[in-house]
Amino acid sequence: MLNLPENPSGMDFIAAVQAHYVARPVETWQAWYNDPSPCFLMRPENIHARTFWMMLEALDSDVGAESQRIVRLRDVTEKMSIYQDIRRFHDTITHKLRTPVSLLATSVSLINSQLERLSAEEIRELMQTAAKGAERLVWQVRDVLTYIDAPLSIHLGKPVAVGEIPAMIEELAKKFNIQDINVFLQKDLAKARITLTPDALELTLSEALENTKKFHPQHSPKVDVSVNQPEPGTILIRINDDGVTLSAEQLSWAWLPYFQGEKAFTGELPGMGLGFPLMATLVWGAGGSLRLGNRSDGPGVVVEMKIPTVSTGQTEESPHSGDF
């Protein structure tokens, strides 16, 4: 996995990892020598291969007078892919199929229950509505099937323009019934593009906003979103709410909810069910970084996503992306 020589004695483990992988979360990896907490090692996706994920776990032990660190590397690519596929499919079904199914079912139900009382004109109007719903359902199912058949399409495709973020957040706020939300976009960034596709960015923002609603004590969060450029080549999306303050344990395991039902080899049972890994895998897969922390000025959580921008020559849609 690390392409080590036959005799790796004396090699620096950190250097060996960084030669082939990107480690996430960044904060965990930077402190790994002193605190070997679990983290991910990722080889980013390209046109030839999908993203490759490994789980890095370690256990310090004393053998006589010497201290040793036992390291375990696990290929978790399939598990990460399955988790993402489930979440994408659920989100797609909810978003795409609810309206056409409702149109079709409501119209047919009215015709069936009120047939003797309806005029010919009313029946014709209801049938037209049902037909529109059925036609839309056919197209949406086709889109869903295309979505499933193109597992890399969430990563490949035309990078999203930063100027699309406010409208995307507005739609998601309506979806989750978040009434109090403010969005600030640095004006000169509207035409900049980031390495996430629109689908990937929408899923990422959806996870973040859904959590602000889900974990707020009254389910009525006040959400502030800011989009700016802290340094050339990087866009920072910052989302904070006024909900709960997370414990150190919750912050630590928020990265690993997918492994909630799987004991680590130390015997612990990680995972706090915060719905964070989909955001992490999408942002990390795009070459970005993600930070989760508590607000310093009161209760609430802060999510920061740093995502690379792309140059003009990189904004063309990949020929390998799915056709939606």
Q: Does domain 162-314 have CATH number 3.30.565.10?
A: yes
Instruction: Give the CA distances from residue 282 to residues 144, 191, 196, 302, in Å, rounded to whole numbers and listed in that order.
Output: 20, 22, 8, 18
pLDDT at 259: 38
- Phi, psi at residue 262, to the nearest 5°? -120, 120
pLDDT value at residue 155: 55
So what's the pLDDT on residue 314?
A: 55
DSSP β-ladder status, 301-308 and 66-75: unpaired
Q: Which amino acid is at 313?
A: G
Taking alpha carbons only, the member of 203, 196, 205, 204 closest to residue 309 is 196
pLDDT of amino acid 221: 95
Query: Could you say which DSSP state residue 233 is in?
Result: T
pLDDT at 52: 86
Contact 140, 133 (CB under 8 A): no
- Distance in angstroms (rounded) separating the CA atoms of residues 100 and 144: 14
CB 239 within 8 A of CB 197: no
Task: Take residue 267 and report the two structure tokens written for it.
Answer: 């015997």
Domain with CATH 1.10.287 in the chain: 79-149
**Domain spanning 79-149, CATH class:** mainly alpha
Return the pLDDT at 283.
87
The predicted pLDDT at position 153 comes to: 45
| Residue 145: per-residue pLDDT | 62
pLDDT tens sequence for the chain (324 residues) = 776 767 777 778 888 888 889 898 888 899 998 888 899 998 877 666 778 889 999 988 877 777 888 889 999 888 887 777 777 677 767 767 777 888 888 888 888 888 888 888 988 898 998 888 888 788 767 656 644 544 454 555 688 999 999 999 999 999 999 999 999 999 899 999 999 888 889 888 988 998 899 889 898 999 999 999 999 999 999 999 999 888 776 777 676 543 333 433 333 333 334 457 778 878 888 889 999 999 999 999 999 999 999 876 555 444 333 332
* Strands lying side by side in the sheet with 22-24: 22-24, 39-43, 52-63, 66-75
Output the pLDDT for position 270. Answer: 35
What is the C-alpha to C-alpha distance for residues 241 and 220, in angstroms, rounded to an integer? 10
The overall pTM is greater than 0.85 = no
In which residue ranges of the chain is CATH 3.30.565.10 found?
Answer: 162-314
Give the CA distances from residue 142 to residues 77, 139, 150, in Å, rounded to whole numbers and listed in that order.
27, 5, 12
